[in-house]
């Protein structure tokens, strides 16, 4: 499904774009949104490049984007980062079947206004859209419970040895989803140096894996 005008202009409505590569789900979602008097599903895209091209050349931006995480060619969180770089005030809700804690943390820390599961009830999706438009955040019940359980499981925040500026930069890149080669390119250092900094970060945070480091960094607000 290419980008398509899904409904005519309607005064006083919230203009919504969808990026979703599953054509049937995108169609169902657009119908759900368009059935509401105050919401307009204006455009739908099946590839990140189409969305970014439209954002670059369209003078009138949407009020909100529903963005899937599982996309062809790019991770949805990477697309989220690019969208927010172009339009910092644009509200974005991640709408996906993924419910792992790390993706939720990464999405929210990279500017997402909400995170709803595709399995959410239709009313919950509509309510989440309206909450974000009105300035609140939106998390489906399952996601909210998972986050709370995650905090409880990991226990109270523990004191950690301060990171150096370079270690913070490496950790921040890790949170954004960059791999070691990309981190090396962005920071203009060697992959060996990246490994050295990561070992130090793991030691200071008392973790053993990348996932644990990202989780602790997000929970403790280290980046």
Domain 4-152, CATH 3.40.50.2300 — does that match? yes
What is the full DSSP assignment across 109-158?
Answer: HTT-SEEEETTS-HHHHHHHHHHHHTT--EE-HHHHHHHHHHHHHH-SPP
What's 165-219's CATH class? mainly alpha
Cβ atoms 98, 70 nearer than 8 A: yes
Residue 190 has a pLDDT of 93
Residue 32 has a pLDDT of 94
Per-position pLDDT tens, the chain of length 223: 444 444 444 447 889 999 998 889 999 999 999 999 889 999 999 999 999 999 888 778 899 999 998 887 778 888 998 998 888 889 999 887 766 666 777 777 778 888 888 888 888 889 888 888 887 666 655 565 555 455 444 444 456 688 999 999 999 888 887 888 889 999 999 989 998 999 999 888 888 777 778 877 877 777 7
Residues of the chain with CATH 3.40.50.2300: 4-152
Residue 207 has a pLDDT of 82
Residue 35 has a pLDDT of 92
Residue 187 has a pLDDT of 94
Residues of the chain with CATH 1.10.10.10: 165-219
User: How far, rounded to the nearest angstrom, does the alpha carbon of residue 184 sit from its chain's CA centroid?
Assistant: 23
Does this model's pTM top 0.85? My answer is no
């Amino acid at each position: 499904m290419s980008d398509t005008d899904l409904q005519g202009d309607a005064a006083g409505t919230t203009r919504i774009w969808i990026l979703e590569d599953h054509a049937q789900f995108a169609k169902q979602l657009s119908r759900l949104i368009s059935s509401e008097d105050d919401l307009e599903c204006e455009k739908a895209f099946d590839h990140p490049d189409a969305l970014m091209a439209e954002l670059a050349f369209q003078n009138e931006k949407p009020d909100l984007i529903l963005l899937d995480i599982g996309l062809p060619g790019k991770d949805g969180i990477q697309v989220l980062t690019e969208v927010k770089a172009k339009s910092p005030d644009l509200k974005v809700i991640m709408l996906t079947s993924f419910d792992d804690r790390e993706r939720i943390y990464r999405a929210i820390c990279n500017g997402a206004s909400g995170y709803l599961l595709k399995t959410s009830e239709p009313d919950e999706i509509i309510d989440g859209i309206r909450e974000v438009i009105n300035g609140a955040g939106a998390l489906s019940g399952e996601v909210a419970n998972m986050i709370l359980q995650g905090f409880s499981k990991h226990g109270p925040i523990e004191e950690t040895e301060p990171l150096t500026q370079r270690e913070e930069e490496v950790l921040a890149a890790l949170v954004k989803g960059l791999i070691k080669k990309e981190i090396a390119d962005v920071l203009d250092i060697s992959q060996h140096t990246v490994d050295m900094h990561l070992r130090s970060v793991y030691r200071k945070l008392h973790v053993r894996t990348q996932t644990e480091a990202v989780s602790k960094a997000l929970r403790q607000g280290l980046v």
